[in-house]
Structure 1
Amino acid sequence: MDYLKWNNSIAAHFFKNEMAGRSVHLYVTEELITDIGQNYGGDLPDFIKAVKAGPIGVQGKGICEKALQSMDDWKYRHGQKGYPLYIGYLALFVLAAGIEEDFAAHAYYRRLRALLREESTSGQYRGFDQMRRLWDDLARWANEYKSGEVGIFNINSAGRRIHVGIPIAQTLLTEKERRALPAIFAAADLDPVSHPTEGAIALLLAHHGRKQLRTPTLRLLEKTGESDEHRQALLEWIIDELRGWDGTAEVSDRTQIYGLLRLCCKLDPIAKRATITLRCSTKHEFSEDDLLLFSDGNCQPFSCYEDSGGWSSTLISESDGKLLVASEFDWLKGLQVRSDDSKWCFRLPASPIRVFVDGGSQGLPGFVEVRQLPIQKPFYLAAHQECLELLTRWGDSSCQDFENLQIINGLPSGWHFFKAKGAYRDELVKREYPILAFPTNVRLELAGGIRLEKGNKFFKFAPPKLVLQGGSESIKVYCNDRLLDSTEAADIYELPADTPAETKLLIEARSGDDIIRRCSLLLVENYSLPSQTNAQQFDRFGKLQTEANGSAGVAGAWAWGVDFPDFNFNTFLPIQGKQRIFFVGKEPGQIAIWPGESLPTDWEPVWAISKGRHRGQVMFCSTNLAESQPSMSKCKDRKKMRAWKEILWHDRKKMSPPDRSNLKVLWQQFQKEAERV
């Protein structure tokens, strides 16, 4: 194999469509080189020989000089087509970092010279201080030029010697360990959406990964010094893997889907009451049907269904249709629920302290539980009485306006509720209660939006939000050098409405002149569907059409040879003939009768009710069940108010209620409110 074949084969192993949006690490070993070369008769000596020779046309005197010339040759002579021409050299540098035998831990250059079969001398390898340019260019190529379509490359460094720290950082986790991480995440009750701080993750992985992780990895995780740069680089890698995990894990030769049970809270400070419920949170796609979940030792199931943004609806009891009251469970021991076939598993991790933040940033009412304390931002705490002494000292000395709320109803026995405008120090509590520790790494991520393809391409009408985690007031976020303002939810940024489409957007988190984190994306406004001739075509029976014969068929969203009927609005509801549809909102007087009246624009319908000669049908048509509770307000239009009460109360016996138990509960609440009107 010549250098070009080695270079492209190694690059294709790491950067591919399956890695779109996920972090790539160039973990190169002798075993990998052997596997890549075996189809061509290549091996490690063959790879070393090819690297020394370099690409055709590159005439540098040494390895590093040839690596730099390869980058220039790929950019200017090849127009950046194909894979970067210097990946083979980066693979060599990582391969050298993984050699352990007969070398001191810090002796990187001796390893590199031994691999190249050169004379063993001390001192820096000639030109190696320029190799950072290659790593920087690889990050630009993967993240900006390719928009993450074949993977995202983040430059992490292990140790203070940055030139050798980057290749060393690629070797901190083996491929076998990386494959074992999902099962460890599941055992440690970790969640890709809301995870604890780096220190807490390190302790959990060290405890639950003893059988899957190597001794050097466990030693790094068990170190307590936050300043250890090898440990920080390892945790960066692990958190990247956690953020990309969809909750699926192989356990006992079975595929299971894991997620978190998270507490959701509504406070009534005047009545001194907290209403605390449970929702499921997962990055995996929910089942289309309602989920029936069983807790250990309880034969009565709970049910929920997909709400939005990775959240389920509020859990309800299947026996009576009532909301599940979270305070009835022991939060110190946690809770686990499973589906009847054990495919789905959700856990409420045990903890004496629970952190809550405003749920608005996640599209939920009230407050939601998170696994990490926000820095210098408002938060609420539920804490068991065993924590009160230390917690109170920390709150008085390290928080702004720390206050013990006198909640007398809604909390488990022995629990207290606190609120604060912000926390400014964590030294007093972070070792005893890691959930109150500040994050030590800053992360910049894209959340939401509608992706056009794999990678970071989004439709212009549905751009993502930018989420800065672990940041402080000194860190600002920019889009193409334009300073962005955060929304009402702390550390969440939105792209301005006038952000141009079809232009690369470089997002940077900066502290002064230093760039802490960066990512890129592209907004697409004009998109053409691919030609049906380029896609696999199937006939009406689902069989592959090998050639176009003029008969009916389909290719993705394309369909041909079929006459489509005009859209009939009546098919939206199970109605017949000239039945009318009553759109009903959550406030008295919010009612529109279609087709005589146009659909409402100043309020959102909750119910769509068909009414005719036969029994009426009720359908839930709101976008958010949690925000669809009936609310009383004054309506000046008495005619509308009477119509609202008539359809909900006087005609209630003429209606077939919705099928879902949680919707039945909501329907009954509307009837009770209508009775009072």
Structure 2
Amino acid sequence: MDYLSWNNSIAAHFFKPEMAGSTVHLYVTEKLITDIGQERGADFSDFIAAIKTGPPGVTRQGLCVKALQSRDNWQQRELDYPPYIAYLALFVLAAGIEGTFAAHSYYPRLRTLLGEEPTTGQYPSFNRMSELWEDLEKWSNQDKSGELGIFNSTSIGKRNHIGLPLAQTLLTEEERRALPAIFAAADLDPISYPAEGAIALLLVKHGRKQLRERTLSLLKETRDSDELRQALLEWIIDELRDWDGTAEDSGKTQIYGILRLCCKLDSIAKRASLSLRCSTKHEFTEEDLLLFLEDNSQAFSCYEDSGGLSSPLICESDGKPLVGCEFDWLKGLQVRSADSKWCFRLPASPIRVFVNGDSQGLPGIVEVRQLPTQKPFYLAAHQECLELLTRWGESSCQGFEKLQIIDGLPSGWHFFKAQAACSDELIKQKYPILALPTNVRLELAGGIRLERGNKFFKFAPPKLVLQGANESIKVFGNNKLLDCTEAAGIYELPADTAETKLLIEARSGDDIIKRCSLLLVENYSLPSQSNAPQFDRFGKIHTGENESAGVSGAWVQGVDFPDFNFNTFLPIQGKQRIFYVGKEPGQIAICPAESLPTDWEPVWAISKGRHRGQAMFCGTNLSESEPTISKCKDRKKMREWKEILWYDRKKIYPPDRSNLKALWKQFQKEAERV
């Protein structure tokens, strides 16, 4: 194999469509190189020989100089992958080579691989290899928009140049494959996971057989400042966030998830109403999910709700919601499906953290596994924790107070609330669930993805979530400072941005702490034909002859259908009604009792049932949807318009996005004047 064959084979192993949106780590071993070469009749020595020769067109001498020259104008040469990936693979390979080397000795390892004298001292021009790592990050994240995987050029340790390849060797392939089983055993949730310190403790406890001693030693390290440990935990959290809950158990694939407590507090009645929801990143079944206690004494059902959460568990015996306080929170709870394919657990804990459920579209407060940074939170705590918890709350939290709850909690439990946690030093060792995050993370949340990777529809971009940051860290999009929303740590992209490729950076002064990129797509057309199998109306595969009707996913052929009108199609469930509201006072239609308007266009579609409703924007243009002076003479319609927008305003959830919230408030002010 020549150099480019090796380069492309290694690159294709790591960067591929299956990794879209997931983090890629360039972990290279001699076994991997051997396995790749065997397909073409080459071996490890052939790889080293190809590295020394370099790609075609390289004229300079010296390994690192050749690597730098291979990067020059490579994208104009119509190459599938960056031509320097094989060099980076060699550098990673050297970081993990075994032998009689000093613990922190890197360059002798590299020289040994190349068949040279294993002397110390920096390899010529190795200090410039960071340019290649940064170029690889730009190619994978910006040029490819994460469609083949997301790569971050992270460096660990004080020796920056050596730290780049070292950061790729913290987990072996075998350890990565073992992580799902460890996550399941540790009751970890990819949607809501604990702080890094708590994750480390859980992995040490449940991963003794699957993780190397070196990995376990790093996880046991207690210094948050240890860069190797922080980099390892960040890698593990990336794997956890991508985990869909599936894991092997005794040769069978099972789907694991977490039971999360949800609570509605009634301060006047001093009552807490607690329910349980299933949390998983895996797709729910189309039918209701039926779950049983381990002793089969009770059965519960639920269905998919939103954000990876199910509806509240319902008892099959009486059709009533499962009351969360009926179970021992110190021991936890487990439910399974009849075939044991699905398993959900309520982890045992003497302290449980709750936050406002608005961010997840839920009423009341919802349980999370991590203490939020600079945000209000609630705590349910067993009486065994009260002394230390109270001391910590009064000394290290803002607005810490005990709530007088006399009904709805298990025996021996108490409820607290606080405006924010300022420090975790007093309590994190005893109760790791109250540890604050130590790593800064920049994540994309929500939005509508187009295909895989970090490509989103422009009309539904994601929000940016900055976790573990302090006030000195600012977030920029294409070098423009982004404003934080009402919730600390959540940023929204400007609605009027004309740019489609966005580089998001979290900065502290001139230092870039975290970065990610995304692509916003405004116009998207379906392909003219699809290679996927087509099915007829009976679900049987057909060849598409005679232009007969066929369907493959969202692709339909051989059928004439009207244009879809997003303004008039909304699900109506049970006794729910939809209020269509126009921009002029009096423009209102209540469905299904009334027909849809024909002489005006709705701006809002407001769903309203027995409890709270939800306002959804359904106008065609945001700038042309502001309320105007009324021409309506129908006093009844004027009164209905005012009632839904003003008198019922506290019963309706506003839209999520800040620009829509501003428009919603304009309508409320106009309704107040009517």
Q: Secondary structure at the match of 1:467?
A: strand
Q: Could you tell me how far 1:407 is from its partner in structure 2?
A: 1.3
Amino acid at match of 2:510: D
Does the CA-based 8 Å contact 2:544-2:550 persist in structure 1? no
Aligned partner of 1:604 among 586, 603, 606: 606
> Counterpart of 2:501?
504
1:162 equivalenced with 2:160 (yes/no):
yes
> Counterpart of 1:666?
none
Q: Could you tell me how far 1:560 is from its partner in structure 2?
A: 3.7
Distance 1:12 1:97 in 2: 21
Amino acid at match of 1:155: S
Amino acid at match of 1:516: I
1:520 equivalenced with 2:517 (yes/no):
yes
Q: Could you tell me how far 1:313 is from its partner in structure 2?
A: 0.6
Equivalences for 1:249-648 in 2 at 5 Å? Answer: 249-500=247-498, 503-532=500-529, 550-554=547-551, 556-562=553-559, 584=577, 592-596=591-595, 598=597, 604-606=606-608
Distance 2:398 2:282 in 1: 38
Equivalences for 1:90-169 in 2 at 5 Å? Answer: 90-169=88-167
Q: Could you tell me how far 1:375 is from its partner in structure 2?
A: 2.0
Sort the Cα spacing of 1:607 and 1:524 in 2 relative to 1 into closer, same or farther, 3 A: same
Aligned partner of 1:241 among 239, 242, 249: 239
Distance 1:567 1:164 in 2: 56
1:377-423: CA deviation from partner (whole Å, max 9, x where unpaired): 21111111111111111111111121111211111111111111111
Q: Secondary structure at the match of 1:9?
A: helix
Sort the Cα spacing of 1:530 and 1:623 in 2 relative to 1 into closer, same or farther, 3 A: farther
Question: How many residue pairs get matched?
Answer: 609
1:577-620: CA deviation from partner (whole Å, max 9, x where unpaired): xxxx986479xx99645455659976734579xxxxxxxxxxx9
> Counterpart of 1:30?
30
> Counterpart of 2:659?
none
Q: Could you tell me how far 1:296 is from its partner in structure 2?
A: 2.3
> Counterpart of 2:49?
49
Does the CA-based 8 Å contact 1:25-1:153 persist in structure 2? yes
Distance 1:228 1:565 in 2: 61
Sort the Cα spacing of 1:366 and 1:563 in 2 relative to 1 into closer, same or farther, 3 A: closer
Amino acid at match of 2:77: H
Distance 1:15 1:567 in 2: 37
Amino acid at match of 1:180: A
Q: Secondary structure at the match of 1:314?
A: coil
- Greater mean deviation of Cα atoms: 414-423 or 108-117: 414-423
Amino acid at match of 2:2: D
Sort the Cα spacing of 1:567 and 1:272 in 2 relative to 1 into closer, same or farther, 3 A: closer
Sort the Cα spacing of 1:526 and 1:600 in 2 relative to 1 into closer, same or farther, 3 A: closer
> Counterpart of 1:2?
2
Distance 2:296 2:519 in 1: 49
Q: Secondary structure at the match of 2:405?
A: coil
Distance 1:513 1:222 in 2: 33
1:261-304: CA deviation from partner (whole Å, max 9, x where unpaired): 11111111222211121111111111111111112235221111
Structure 1-normalised TM-score? 0.84
Q: Could you tell me how far 1:229 is from its partner in structure 2?
A: 1.7
RMSD in angstroms over aligned alpha carbons? 3.2
Aligned partner of 2:185 among 175, 184, 187: 187
Does the CA-based 8 Å contact 2:394-2:400 persist in structure 1? yes
Does the CA-based 8 Å contact 1:210-1:218 persist in structure 2? yes
Does the CA-based 8 Å contact 1:156-1:169 persist in structure 2? yes
> Counterpart of 1:662?
none
Distance 1:198 1:582 in 2: 46
Q: Could you tell me how far 1:490 is from its partner in structure 2?
A: 2.4
> Counterpart of 1:220?
218
> Counterpart of 2:64?
64
Distance 1:291 1:261 in 2: 14
Does the CA-based 8 Å contact 2:373-2:467 persist in structure 1? no
Sort the Cα spacing of 1:318 and 1:244 in 2 relative to 1 into closer, same or farther, 3 A: same
Distance 2:326 2:311 in 1: 19
Does the CA-based 8 Å contact 1:582-1:593 persist in structure 2? no
- Greater mean deviation of Cα atoms: 81-90 or 218-227: 218-227
Q: Could you tell me how far 1:11 is from its partner in structure 2?
A: 0.1
Does the CA-based 8 Å contact 2:277-2:309 persist in structure 1? yes
Same amino acid, percent of matched pairs: 72
Q: Secondary structure at the match of 1:67?
A: helix
Q: Could you tell me how far 1:155 is from its partner in structure 2?
A: 2.3
Sort the Cα spacing of 1:317 and 1:557 in 2 relative to 1 into closer, same or farther, 3 A: closer
> Counterpart of 1:12?
12
Does the CA-based 8 Å contact 2:254-2:340 persist in structure 1? yes
